Chain A
Amino acid sequence: MLKIVNYILGFVFFVFLQVLILNNIQFSGFINPFMYIIMLLILPFETPRWFLLILAFILGFTIDIFSNTPGMHAAATVFIGFLRPFVLKWIAPRDGYEAATLPRIKYYGINWFIKYVIILTLAHHSFLFFIEVFRFSDFFHTLLRIILSSFFTSSLIVGSQYFMYKR
């Protein structure tokens, strides 16, 4: 029960962090960090896939409401909600995920976590930026934005792990 409350509080915290602070960060139009996806990444391994999708949709839609872009973030988060189980399977350690563990640094190590975060962040940002520009004409410009922003978002997510779960 306490865990669920923790997740809800985390959800509210990261949504506000995103819409109040991170949405206003735009270094020369290239770097737009979208750290809120951390809420999808740190959900337990056992989360049912259908529930993951619905949570992803709610998360994306909430961000959309605040940033006045209905559907854009929702589409991107549902996309990584769908991808997450496949990515987890792909980068799974040799002896699989142990029961009662969470996808965090302290269980599976920094290398694994960075790989995990970067793959899903890249997927999310690619999807998001391409439906934002909605054309392939400025492909390399969009690609640069994706790479820079993904790097920035991944750093924030990995860094926040140390910051929040040190205790």
Chain B
Amino acid sequence: MNNLIKFIIKHHVIFIFIILEFFSFFMLIQNNKFQRTKALNAGYELSGILYNKYSEFTEYLSLKDENKKLAEENARLRNQLYASYKTDTIFSRSIHDTLRKQQFSYIAAKIIRNSVNMQNNYLLIDKGNRHGVKPEMAVISPTGIVGIVKDVTDNFSSVISLLNSNLRISAKVKRNGYFGSISWDGKDYTAAVLNEIPVHIKILKNDTIITSGYSTIFPEGILIGKIEEFSFKGGDNFYTTRVALYTDFKKLNYVYVVNNLMKDEIKSLEK
């Protein structure tokens, strides 16, 4: 203690200098906004760096726990994901009209599998028996026809795509009503072929092709495509017509299954 006092007395000038400077800087930082902000910022920066390093280090120690927690959370969130659930709602409704009798009802469905690159393409949709889907129902999209239902299970159905060389659909030229049949030649998923249009009929490029309604499957007037090019060889009775399809089969997502309520009645006449 004695030595300390001796030391202080010996260096009293330095001590007074340090005390007064300290006091000045204290006032400076307390009372001058700019210097205060600067000093505080420097302090924050320093402590920020320190804390950052510290937490970087301690993070490693709890890495295992954190991983486990994250994995559990991932599993829980995956269970809540929309994609984990199958939509079970049926978007269809019937209208009771005393003047006109409803002939077609529609069931919305989502495509869950699709292909365009084979000779015989099929689609899978997420509606089946339970939702009222039956074989030989038409499938259409907002932009045009898609295909015909082939097999049905309780919850799913397979659909013969228009891009299937086995499928022929009755179609007509909208402008003059002449009909033929449309099929796919297995080459390009954006185009199909319209057959059986006789050569004496005048058709034009860009004529719209629609369904004819001459079968019990498709309603009349569903869009198919437009004529891209046509030709006929000498001696042929029919045009060879390429039809650009309105439906982009590569982009299909939601479709409607068309239920013809009077199918049985028509069928009974055809027998």
Contacts and interface: CB of A to CB of B under 8 A. Distances in A.
> Are the chains A and B members of one assembly?
yes
Interface of A: 49-50, 53-54, 56-57, 60-61, 64, 69-72, 74-75, 78-79, 81-82, 131, 134-135
Name the prevailing secondary structure of the A interface residues.
helix
Given A50-B16, A78-B17, A134-B38, A69 B32 contact: yes
Given A53-B13, A69-B28, A70-B31, 18 more contacts: A50-B13, A53-B17, A54-B20, A57-B20, A57-B23, A61-B24, A70-B27, A71-B24, A71-B26, A71-B31, A72-B28, A74-B24, A78-B20, A78-B24, A81-B17, A131-B25, A131-B28, A134-B34
Contacts, number: 62
Interface residues of B, number: 20
B30 A70 contact: yes
A75 B28 contact: yes
A57 to B, nearest CB: 5
A82 B13 contact: yes
B16 A75 contact: no
A12 B134 CA distance: 109
Name the prevailing secondary structure of the B interface residues.
helix
Nearest to B34: A134
10 contacts: A69-B28, A70-B32, A71-B24, A71-B25, A71-B28, A71-B29, A74-B20, A78-B17, A134-B38, A134-B39
Interface of B: 12-13, 16-17, 20-21, 23-32, 34-35, 38-39
A75 B25 contact: yes
B16 A54 contact: yes
Given A71-B25, A79-B21, A53 B32 contact: no
Contact of B13 (A49, A61, A74): A49
A75 B17 contact: no
Contacts of A64: 27
For the complex of A and B, the 7 pairs showing the least CB-CB separation, nearest first, are A71-B27, A71-B28, A75-B24, A74-B24, A70-B31, A70-B27, A49-B13
A72 B23 CA distance: 11
B44 to A, nearest CB: 15
A60 B30 CA distance: 17
A53 B20 contact: yes
A54 B24 CA distance: 12
Contacts of B32: 69-72
Nearest to A131: B28
A78 B20 CA distance: 7
A78 B13 CA distance: 11
A152 to B, nearest CB: 24
Nearest to A64: B27
Nearest to A53: B16
Given A50-B12, A134-B34, A135-B38, A82 B17 contact: yes
